[in-house]
Amino acid sequence: MSLSISDNLAASLIAAPIMLPSLAGTMALIFRRRRRMVAAGISIGSTALQVLIAVALLLRASQSDPTPYAMGDWPAPFGIVLVLDQLAAWMLLLTSVVGFAVATHAALTKLDRKGWNFHPIFQFQLLGINGAFLTGDLFNLFVFFEVLLIASYGLILHGQGARRLTSGVQYVVVNLTGSTLFLVGLGILYGVTGTLNMADMAARGAQLAQGDRGLFLAGGLVLIAVFALKAALLPLHLWLPRAYSSTAPAVAALFAIMTKVGAYSIIRTTPLIFGDVAEPILLPAALGTIALGFAGMLAARGLRDMAAFGLIGSTGTLLVAIALFDSDGLAAALYYLPHTTLAAAFLFLTVDLVVRWRGVEGDAIVPTPRFAGASLLAFLFLAGGVALAGLPPLSGFFGKLLILDAALVSPHAAWIWGVILVTSLIAVVALARAGSTVFWKHDETPELPEDREPPRLVQALPCLFLLALLVGLTVFAGPATRYTQGTAAQLLDTPLYLRSVLGTASPPSPAAQGDAP
Amino acid sequence: MEFLIATAIGALTWAGIYLSLRGRTFPVVLGVTMLSYAINLFLFAIGRLKVGAPPIFSEEAATYTDPLPQALVLTAIVISFGMSALVVVLSLRTFLETGTDQVDGEPDPAIDPLDGDRDEWIKRRNAHRIDMLGETRP
């Protein structure tokens, strides 16, 4: 008896990453006006607990096949399922650690006091992201996308200001259009296959008649276009730099995950359901994204713009590895993915500290008088630059090495090698120029009158936490790559996923399509 | 009926795309709304069109329509309605904050009636805000 209860609890743990933030968000809502310390405590505590849950789920997923969790106990193709596999657990862990760092940073820098609802919205954002990683149902993926988008609208406007509002309008309109396209793709896919469960759709998609196959792939490509919009792939990236550079940098640090939600959705749906149909489009677009992102870093006039363009470029690098769609490429991508997310979040948080501690000129890349705390910031910026550009000794170097190694078998290997190597150099140049201008050069104006309160060094703790994670990812590169290789193998083993989720390898009788002519 | 539905969806999508590519927030809001109407109609149609058939699944029923798309449309309507409300409020706020309804927040001298009077506009807006709140502020 006790065994079955603990079994039930262990199974319910799969739903915990969705339940916990919704509970914490609602509780933080009570304390939004007074006792904000309590709200901040709830928020930070919830993210810390999510880290523990994610570790537990990761340990569990690494030992077993994909585990479905049927909501309301309705079996898979008819009810809604959450599916925990190695990929989902990996992404959950990444989300929770970034969430923990950003929540702590926001509380320490008092960003959460610039409006009333920071912590509730933040928790609902985590709810949407975690749900998108866990769900095994395409329509629920849409719903969780909407949840995380609605919360992101709130976060991107947090703190007000005309510039933030105009860029917020653009961001909302772009994402509304993206959601509409998402529904178009879903509609086509449902019309063709009569199901919305990913595993069921994979099984039925494989059995489609030749005539329906084209429509099915068209629906798939529409979906991939939406995911590429979220991931800011080349022609669809225009919304990102302005939105991310005009919002609060701490919020942008959390949004480093949001581009990865797009990348995750491509990894999740493409090998499983659509096959490698997107490869000829994805690869050139990803290469162009890298070039554009790192060239944008060179052109940036502010550190926030620079971090935003760096995020675009590194997401492009990630998508190159994904676009290979083989075991090595996916394993390399899954190692590079947490690295680039942590590096971008780390850089955004560092830039936030620069804006707060510098006194004048904000984040503009111009020389200013020396300011207190500059040497610590210079060290953090150096580490962030090394991480983002993918230089040794940090994990970005291994990640890029793995991607380049995986690209050797591709017919476009020369292009991939050329673009990644040249753009890495451009990124180094851009980061070195910005870093030396901001931290090294000092103009001749007299120092600021010291009536400002000195920077609180405790604010740098979340940054150092992310840096420690980057170092950890480097030191434990062996176990991490073994895990990502296992994940890639599991991802490409479609029959295993179908068997685990549906219980059988063959689809049930097509009841929903019984009226089709 | 198929022709009518397809034409309606096509016309709404066309108008929606055209309007959402405009440079001012009001047409963009209208365009996004039209796009979401088109999508709701499209989602209705994906379960195949049937007239006079109940949306249930039963062994006895001779014919039935697929109920799932209607459930999906319900969710999509709720989400898109909430989103439309949000974007309306947001663009109104941007208009009040910047004094123009250009989506990039920069007044266009050729068509913007507020050209040149921007400071006065912001002054007037601030006065109006005080009226609306029913209190005076420094």
Contact B97 A162 (CB under 8 A): yes
Burial class (CB in 10 A: 0-12, 13-18, 19+), A163: middle
Which chain A residue shows the shortest CA-CA distance from B9?
Answer: A184
Name the residue facing A166 among B46, B80, B98 (closest C-beta): B98
Q: Mention every residue, 6+ apart, whose C-beta is less than 8 A from residue B11.
A: none
Stretch A178-201: mean pLDDT:
90
Q: Which two tokens stand for residue A256?
A: 């480093």
Contact A512 B66 (CB under 8 A): yes
d(CA B59, CA A480): 52
What pLDDT, on the 0 to 100 scale, is given for residue A388?
A: 87
Contact A186 B72 (CB under 8 A): yes
What pLDDT, on the 0 to 100 scale, is given for residue B129?
A: 53
Residue linked to tokens 């992101």: A152
Q: Does B71 touch chain A (CB under 8 A)?
A: no
Q: Does A515 touch chain B (CB under 8 A)?
A: yes
What pLDDT, on the 0 to 100 scale, is given for residue A165?
A: 83
What pLDDT, on the 0 to 100 scale, is given for residue B83?
A: 87
What pLDDT, on the 0 to 100 scale, is given for residue A214?
A: 87
Stretch A160-182: mean pLDDT:
85
What are the pLDDT tens digits along chain B (138 aa)?
Answer: 889 999 999 999 999 999 988 888 889 999 999 999 999 999 888 878 888 777 776 777 778 888 888 888 898 898 888 888 888 888 888 887 777 777 777 766 666 655 556 666 666 666 655 444 444 443
Residue linked to tokens 């985590």: A126
Contact in structure between A158 and A171 (CB atoms under 8 Å): no
Query: Above 90 in pLDDT, residue A95?
Result: yes
Contact A183 B65 (CB under 8 A): no
pTM over 0.95: no
What pLDDT, on the 0 to 100 scale, is given for residue A445?
A: 63
Query: Above 50 in pLDDT, residue A312?
Result: yes
Q: Does A512 touch chain B (CB under 8 A)?
A: yes
Taking only residues 108 to 137 of chain B, the set having a beta carbon closer than 8 angstroms to any beta carbon of chain A reads none
Residue linked to tokens 């591709």: A410
What pLDDT, on the 0 to 100 scale, is given for residue A510?
A: 44
- Respond yes or no on whether ipTM tops 0.95: no
Hey, how many other C-beta atoms are within 10 angstroms of the C-beta on B71?
13
Contact B90 A157 (CB under 8 A): yes
Contact in structure between B112 and B82 (CB atoms under 8 Å): no
Residue-wise pLDDT for A118-134, tens only, equals 899 999 999 999 999 99
Contact in structure between A420 and A403 (CB atoms under 8 Å): yes
Contact in structure between A310 and A246 (CB atoms under 8 Å): no
Query: Above 70 in pLDDT, residue A508?
Result: no
CA distance B38 to chain A (A): 9
Contact B66 A168 (CB under 8 A): no
Taking only residues 114 to 143 of chain A, the set having a beta carbon closer than 8 angstroms to any beta carbon of chain B reads 139, 143
Size of interface A-B (CB pairs under 8 A): 99
| CA nearest to B12, candidates B32, B29, B3, B24 | B32
Contact B63 A515 (CB under 8 A): yes
Hey, how many other C-beta atoms are within 10 angstroms of the C-beta on A329?
22
A9 against A263, higher pLDDT: A263
Contact in structure between A92 and A15 (CB atoms under 8 Å): no
What pLDDT, on the 0 to 100 scale, is given for residue B134?
A: 43
Contact in structure between A28 and A120 (CB atoms under 8 Å): yes
Collect all residues of chain A within an 8 Å Cβ-Cβ radius of residue B86: 150, 153, 172
Q: Mention every residue, 6+ apart, whose C-beta is less than 8 A from residue A162.
A: B94, B97, B98, B105
Contact in structure between A372 and A384 (CB atoms under 8 Å): no
Taking only residues 182 to 201 of chain A, the set having a beta carbon closer than 8 angstroms to any beta carbon of chain B reads 183-184, 186-188, 190-191, 194, 196
Residue-wise pLDDT for A329-375, tens only, equals 899 999 999 999 999 999 999 998 888 888 777 778 887 777 777 88
Collect all residues of chain B within an 8 Å Cβ-Cβ radius of residue A180: 32, 35-36, 39, 80
Name the residue facing B25 among A157, A169, A517 (closest C-beta): A169
CA distance A140 to chain B (A): 10
What value, to the nearest 5°, has the Cα angle with vertex A510 and ends A504 and A512?
125
Name the residue facing A515 among B48, B79, B104 (closest C-beta): B48
Collect all residues of chain B within an 8 Å Cβ-Cβ radius of residue A157: 90
Site from A176, A186, A188, A226 to mutate, B interface, most B CB atoms within 10 angstroms: A176
Burial class (CB in 10 A: 0-12, 13-18, 19+), A252: buried
Stretch A260-281: mean pLDDT:
87
